[in-house]
Structure 1
Amino acid sequence: MLRKIKWLQYTLLASALMMTGSATAAVVTSVRPLGFIASAIADGVTPTEVLLPDGASPHDFALRPSDIQRLRSADLVLWVGPDMEAFLTKSLKQIPANKQLAISELPAVKPLLMKGDDEHDHEPASGEKKHEESDHDHHHGEYNMHVWLSPEVAKVTAIAIHDRLLELMPQNKDKLNANLRQFEDQLAQTDKNLVNMLTPVQGKGYFVFHDAYGYFEKHYGLSPLGHFTVNPEIQPGAQRLHQIRTQLVEQKAVCVFAEPQFRPAVINTIAEGTKVRSGTLDPLGTGIALGKDSYGNFLTALSNQYVSCLK
């Protein structure tokens, strides 16, 4: 009997060690682009990990037990907020408030938020119901929550990460201060380079697949004609596709953009028989390694994707 109890205690201890050993303290971010910002600020202080694997969408992700363990043992959890990553809301209620940051709720970010799906929304064609795919039910609340595509929001986010890590790890003050200065300098230089790169294509019209790029487009003065869908999981309806095809021709669109995780056949079909080119935009920076330069590399890669199709 005693041997059985000891064996049971050993098994429980081993499984507990396995669980705790599988998650280490780090800055854990919901999506990869937030990881780009966090990894620059936390460099040399604590590792940065991204919760969503490449190819996954924050719109419909489900947490695994190992993900919950990572959240609980994190130094800091960084996310956009409940309107973007609803899957995190329940788990983060169990995390201390000082160990999480919701970017969309930062006081300095709120004035920078853009209304969702209003800037380039389409007027319904005759007989078409507006938002026929019920995508307004999906859109991230009142505002566009793809905030990581805004250089202004990125700068505010970097400052917030710096300030919170400084509270949690005051012994790393010099390193955190140096990292923030370097991030801000690099961001300013990247921004200057991208203005030069994107100015020649500012007047060229295009369609994007997914309503995600408003912050980037506004910042760099680009000329989107519209988007196929607000909810990337829902294919646009026949009337919407007919309307976009008409607009492609009438408004002389240069390009239609797909995304790596969403390559709907409709994009090829809609451009068929027109002079419109097809390109791909990656709003999540798939394949870009986390590090001090990664956010600048992300914005540069996205700019190259625009230019290669629009120029």
Structure 2
Amino acid sequence: MSRILLSLSINAALMGGAAFAEVPRVAVDIAPIHSLVARVMDGVGTPDLIVQSGASPHEYSLRPSEATALQKADIVFWIGPDLTPWLDDAIETLATDASVTELLEADGTIELEFREGALFEAHDEHGQDEHEEGAHEDHAGGEHAEEKAGHEDHDHGEHDPHAWLSPQNASTWLNVIASQLSVADPENAGAYFANAAAGRAEIDALTADVNAVLDPLRGARFIVFHDAYQYFEAAFDFPAAGAISISDASDPGPARIAEIRARIADEGIDCVLAEPQFNAGLVATVLDGTEAGTGILDPLGSDLEPGPALYPQLIRNLATNLAECL
């Protein structure tokens, strides 16, 4: 009798293992997107994170475990080559059998063009519809030439890739993620779409919370370390006055630093915001001799535990840290 029970237990375990094996293996580029995918897969499976927390997504060397995750992936979700140009080749080489979803190109995604110049003007308008192509004029000489070269040097596309900082995009992507997972795993489609709906409700509540934090501070002026936050700024109508660096992959030239310092002195900038993993000395240089406060913004949530809770906490932290600085 004990042998029969043992045999039944083994068969049940094998059947359970077979059922679990049917859940797609999913690889995701960065922690905020991994969080959205983990929210949709909650209770069904766990996605693999490729770019580990605290690392710059623009330049990254795959660890063996991350290369293996790509090789085994049935589905890959990523922002796209505008953020991680090196990952394009890795996906093509390693994830040969995977279904690949580039979220920046997904239907309904809000895309914003790169801003030019160290200083941002309140009247600046940027294309803000899915895959809309706006005029992108070339400027000769001076700071604009330096920034244009910076875009080219780092393989940037026409659109700013930091699109996860728009909660509206995150909400759109939850359904995109659920749809792709359901195609690969129709038995769990109900769970995926239920999780996506719950995630969208959480983002609606998150948006209301952030607006409540920022409403008393509207009109305050701040400068960010690098121009990564315009999706957050547009979502909450809380514009930055400028950025020290055009990207986290390049240092600003002396002319750009001088331009930023002049604005702080002339226009009463309240706060200059650093980022945890980049050159704090540049922020100190910009702040020297001014009365502006300082704080830290982290667009990737590098100090947060990867998983479903990371994305809403990331957005809340941006609002909280900004408010505390102002």
TM-score of Structure 1 vs Structure 2, range by shorter chain: 0.7 to 0.9
Q: How does 1:67-78 map to 2 (within 5 A)?
A: 67-78=66-77
- What CA deviation, in whole Å up to 9, does each residue of 1:175-199 have, x standing for no partner? 2122112101111111111111111
Tell me the CA shift for residue 91 of structure 1: 2.2
- Aligned partner of 1:47: which letter? T
Of 140, 161, 167, the residue aligned with 2:183 is 167
| TM-score after normalising by structure 2 | 0.81
Q: In angstroms, what is the RMSD of aligned CA positions?
A: 2.3
Give the Cα–Cα distance (whole angstroms) in 2 for the partners of residues 152 and 77 of structure 1.
21
- Aligned partner of 1:239: which letter? A
Instruction: Please identify, of 64-73 and 297-306, the stretch whose mean Cα deviation from structure 2 is larger.
Output: 64-73
Give the Cα–Cα distance (whole angstroms) in 2 for the partners of residues 182 and 119 of structure 1.
40
For structure 2, the residue ranges without an aligned partner over 5 or more in a row are 1-22, 122-138
Q: Is the aligned partner of 1:245 residue 2:243?
A: no
Q: How does 1:152-191 map to 2 (within 5 A)?
A: 152-191=168-207
Tell me the CA shift for residue 93 of structure 1: 2.0
- Describe the SS at the equivalent of 2:146: coil
Distance 1:225 1:130, change over 3 A: farther
Q: How does 1:136-151 map to 2 (within 5 A)?
A: 136-137=151-152, 138=154, 140-151=156-167
Residue 14 (structure 1) aligns with: none
C-alpha contact (below 8 Å) 1:31/1:51 kept by paired residues: yes
- Describe the SS at the equivalent of 1:134: helix
Give the Cα–Cα distance (whole angstroms) in 1 for the partners of residues 100 and 210 of structure 2.
31
- Describe the SS at the equivalent of 2:177: helix
Residue 134 (structure 1) aligns with: 149
For structure 1, the residue ranges without an aligned partner over 5 or more in a row are 1-23
Tell me the CA shift for residue 258 of structure 1: 0.8
Give the Cα–Cα distance (whole angstroms) in 1 for the partners of residues 57 and 176 of structure 2.
22
- What CA deviation, in whole Å up to 9, does each residue of 1:94-135 have, x standing for no partner? 4357622110111221xx1001124975699x9656426832
| TM-score after normalising by structure 1 | 0.84
- Describe the SS at the equivalent of 1:93: helix
C-alpha contact (below 8 Å) 1:258/1:278 kept by paired residues: yes
C-alpha contact (below 8 Å) 1:25/1:74 kept by paired residues: yes
Give the Cα–Cα distance (whole angstroms) in 2 for the partners of residues 246 and 97 of structure 1.
53
Distance 1:296 1:264, change over 3 A: same
Distance 1:290 1:136, change over 3 A: closer
Residue 309 (structure 1) aligns with: 325
TM superposition outliers: structure 1 runs of 4+ over 6 Å: none
When the two structures are aligned, how many residues end up with a matched partner? Answer: 284
